[in-house]
Structure 1
Amino acid sequence: MTTTSASQEAQPRTGGVRVRVQRFGTFLSGMIMPNIPALIAWGIFTAFFIDVGWTPNEGLATIVGPFIHYLLPLIIAYTGGYMVYQQRGGVVATIATMGAIAGSDLLIADFNAELLAADPNAAPLGEVHMFIGAMILAPIAGFSMKWLDKLWADKIKSGFEMLVNMFSAGIWGFVLAIVGFYPIAWVVNGLMSALSTAVEFLVASNLLPLTSILIEPAKVLFLNNAVNHGVLTPLGTQEAADSGSSILFLLEANPGPGLGLLLAFAIFGIGAARASAPGAALIQFVGGIHEVYFPYALMKPTLIIALIFGGMTGVTTNMLLGGALRAPAAPGSIIAVLAQTASGSYFAVILSVILSTAVTFIIASIILRSSRKRDLAAAESGGDAFGAAISQTERNKGKSSSALSGLRTDADAESAGATAGATATATATAAADTPIDTIIFACDAGMGSSAMGASVLRNKLKKAGVTDVSVTNSAIANLTTNVDLVITQQQLTDRAQEKTPDAIHVSVDNFMNSPKYDEVVEMVRKNREEQQ
């Protein structure tokens, strides 16, 4: 059974390079984000137990090297393979990445042997950690294993299924480990060397702040994941393994520019943008959901200049004063940033956030003040620049967002709720036939917005006296058939239906305050009555 909101209009399908980069970035993010807790754990180990840590411990410090060299790339590989082909894809991707790790180690060992033979006093190369190798091999392993399984699907004699499945995955994992050992290890080592050289050049030439010219506009257009997870996180982690911290983790995660922009709107903005800016500032700065400030920038694209200068100010401050993080700060909350700040870098990091906030605020305030009369005139004529900017942001992202939808006016929410009742009635009738014991909120990554939505519905069910229903959140790729009801944002419903065709599907505009939740609660309550 399926229900979708009658009030929702289908988002136009867009193509082009931007959308492809977004999808690529989303896939990279899907491999990295679920494993951020492991990066945080590794950062804590380095903070406490290495030689220059807060509480040096020679024994516990031995965990740091294997943790980053083996565990982190392997779990990234498993996650990426699982996204494509569940356990089989994850296992084969992990085997392949182990080959890349071993191949890289051999290349480094051979190079150092030749280097030291020529110059015994030369500094040998350190290990190259296969983050990028894992992100290359995971989709290759997942898709190729899936394709191979289709070749002999329904051709295996009864009783031999387990034998064929086990040996086919093992043999193909062996083949891909050889691929990882030779060409992939060689390519990734060369790529990491080139990227590291480029970053060193930018730092030595004091040009690193110029990266904000690319990063800040890319964030507003949701193109930053490919850069952040594909380049900055692997390079930053490599640098942090060698020196204990990296400034690269702060290029994109600094919450200062977004805070400065929202504060400018809170003081000098007009209408709904001004009214919503204080709440958005709290969500962005403390919650770490940066996307809430993107519509404000899109309302007036010249404000991106303020974000660029604010970002450059933060990078310059950290570069001059030695600000750096031990591990990625995810989400980009001030709490996560401070938790990952390297010892001795707190003053620099805090100052970089303050100064980037101040610079963005000043420039944004000048821009808003200079156009205030025109903005007021446009608002009086009935224009809704803020609503249009939110819609544009959602189109840039390629899907709706609870954080963004929460910025919309109450009138929008009431309009959505007023027209949603017809399909809910049909759904409640259909849902009475089978028990509803499991409800899952599903989104791309299975984190963030879906987790907030699950929490909202759990509270509503609890208030309604329904306590025997499991309400959880999950990535769409991880959905299984043993779920009774799936709640997704409209743009993702089709994908969820492919994973769970027998479940009831409910589409919502946003996960935070959808009127559909009251209807779901009523649906579950009636379902309980019918089943008694």
Structure 2
Amino acid sequence: MIRQKRSYAKEASFDLLKIRRFGHYLSGMIMPNVSVFITWGIITTLIQYFQGPLQQSFIEMDQLMIQFLLPVLIAYTGGRLIEKRAGVVAAIAVIGMLVDSEDPQILGAMVIGPLTGWNVFLFDKYIFPKVKAGYEMLVRNFSAGIIGMLLGYLSLVIIGPFIARVTQQISLLVGWLIQRNLLLLTNIFIEPLKVLFLNNTLNHGILTPLGIEQTEAAGTSLLFLIETNPGPGLGVLLAFILFSRKELKASASGAFMIHLIGGIHEIYFPFVLLNTRLFAAVILSGMSGTLIFELFQVGLKAPASPGSIVTILANTPQEMLLGVACGIAVSTLVSFLLAALVIRKNQAKKEISEKVTKVTEIRKILFACDAGMGSSAMGASIMRRQLEESGVSIPVDYTSIYRVQDDPHLLLITQNELKHLAEIQAPHAQIVTIGNFLDRTEYTKVVAMLTDEQENEKIPEAIGEKLPYQKVVFLYADGVRGSQTMAMQAFRNLAEKHHVRVDIEKQPLEQLITDQRNLYIVTEAFAAKNVLPECPLLVVGHLIATNKYEKLLRGDLSDVSNS
């Protein structure tokens, strides 16, 4: 393929690409946990309707969810986005940040999650390949514990205090702006900090005390409206209800009423975090609302807690109801219009990307149905034959849709009705949906694309393609098969490392029916003790601690013999 010259446009777009990736990580951490935010919001809303010990229990449950459950889940999700096993490690690491914190450490969790994932990724890339065969599980478990402990200590003594210090300084800046009557500028800081779950710190630490002072002098205070204005959140949620994907519409609808009537502002924060451009929408919305409040010279008689439309109107003097209502309405409209533009533009890009399927660097084709056996197995067989006839050397396999693992180099073929589930299971895979796995014509376009890609790109054959065996079989006798099980896993790990697809299993010698297409592996002690049939045989000194597997997977068959 002719290599194109790098243009200045591509170089200029590099930073934009990084920003988009950052936004993708934010969305990936928040989206799977939206239901937990909504559950927490419902509990918070219902607390006021209970009394006595039951109310106290709900209050404790509410605090545990926002202080511990949500940060742990977000850190877990953020770590897992980068490296699968890093999720648990990130959940360990974030605990250090929660020890002395009074505020919900949602922001801290969004930092420590990807940081942990990156550290685990580096460990697995540079250190884990040097581990001797047989020690993989031990090293994985201990490395997870050690990395989690070190990052937990780091979050306790450095990351957590740093975030707290930055928050404190921004809060002081907001107070300084208020004292100089620069209320419009306060929204530039207040709205993003709200979305990062620092709303209570701003409201109860700065706005409420200053507002009470103003109320004692003038009877009302506009400061009670700056943070509690529901307009920015209502507009964002309304835009999601009208223009987002189906699964988000349902969540946004429930969140809308909780936010409007219940006054739980935190319920809309995850929706803003799904797309970083929405920060601009809530900032401009907050500024427009504050501007209207200033023009009408309105305020509240007392703090509105919770920030419900009911509480706000109840604390508004009758002569100021029109001004307060106009401020909320204008900020809702501004937020809605800007959020709608962002969401619709984002949806359009997703639709285009779904229609244009890239086949560059596809290393595996996977057929997935509900059960992972019947129709997907037959579809994989048909595709495998068509690829062989076309000279395309890409491994084809089948599985249940529930067992699919995400891989950007995976071409996932599934049924139309399973498309949504496939996108959840493998968001980075290249997905093709078809109506009938047994219809050969469905595969024609896919094979044509793959054929063109291999002709244009000249993708080199995977190491081990010349391995002339259908299966690798580990033999055991007298029911003793513990070492064989461990050896299968070690061999499988090496095969994945060398990008070799091979079926591996174990069989009892007593029931063995030899197949010359298979390779059988035994130890020297096993071969000396038992009479082995004539078949392709690899004899090793130790089933796990041997270098013969590496040679075999590189295409060196010198150690294979026919007994």
- Using the size of structure 1 for normalisation, the TM-score is 0.47
Between 1 and 2, higher relative CO (CA 8 Å, sep ≥ 6) is seen in 1
> Higher strand fraction: Structure 1 or Structure 2?
2
- Using the size of structure 2 for normalisation, the TM-score is 0.45
